[in-house]
Amino acid sequence: MRLSKKMRQSRLVQSFQENPFLTDEEVAKQCQVSIQTIRLDRMELGIPEMRERLKHMAEKSFDEVRSLSPEEVIGEVVSLELDQSGVSVLEISEDHVFERNQIARGHYLFAQANSLAVAIVNADLVLTRSAAIRFVRPVKLGEKCIAHAKVVQKQPSRFQVDVETKVLDDMVFQGVFDVYRATN
């Protein structure tokens, strides 16, 4: 036996958790068992098939986008008007701060802004070419960062996206992103 059933199943749960895009075939290969075994496992564990998982996620994010009223949304949600503007909210948790002083590491604010700048552009493969950013003031544990992004220049495959992140009415981060639609 390669791995006990229980072992495999708990590994499986985790795998799907951290990458819901996996097909049974891929997991089967990873676990060195047949595809049927994986399917039996999914049945037992009540894990739906990949397409259902994705559909579920899509639904979730879709609903969220629909019902976005900035003050009630907590977490990592984004509202998007493709090629125009978007909003994302990030609440600073333990994971985001320097232990020593409870101040958010800059790259989390950057990540929020960068993700948003990329998400806003309506194309398959969008990458950041360059950015100029400013951390206006430190952000502390527990603060809720609301990033507003706006496309300010649109060329066939290049976009300039400005992002401003605020905590309440306090500007904390400012960035100008030059993103492009890549051909891959």
Partner DNA sequence: ACTAATTTAGTACTTGGTACTAGAATGTGG
Partner DNA sequence: CCACATTCTAGTACCAAGTACTAAATTAGT
Residue numbers at the binding site for a copy of itself (CB under 8 A):
19-21, 51, 53-69, 74-78, 88, 90, 94-96, 98-101, 103, 105-108, 110-112, 114-115, 118-119, 124-125, 127-135, 138, 182, 184
Residue 49 contact, options DNA, a copy of itself, none, Cβ 5-8 Å cut-off depending on partner type: DNA
Query: How many whole angstroms separate alpha carbon 70 and alpha carbon 146?
Result: 8
Which of 54, 55, 56, 61 shows the shortest CA–CA distance to 79? Answer: 61
Residue 68 binds which of DNA, a copy of itself, none (CB < 5-8 A, kind-dependent): a copy of itself
Q: Which stretch binds DNA (CB under 7 A): 40-48, 77-85, 102-110, 119-127?
A: 40-48
The answer to whether 161 touches 120, Cβ cutoff 8 Å, is: yes
Surface-to-core class of residue 136, CB atoms within 10 Å of its CB (0-12 exposed, 13-18 middle, 19+ buried): middle
Residues, the chain: 184
Residue 42 binds to DNA (criterion: CB under 7 A) = yes
Rounded to a whole number of angstroms, the minimum distance from the CB of residue 183 to DNA is 17
Q: Does the footprint of DNA cover residue 14 (CB under 7 A)?
A: no
Rounded CA gap, 36 and 102, in Å?
Answer: 48
121 binds, among a copy of itself, DNA, none (CB under 5 to 8 A by kind): none
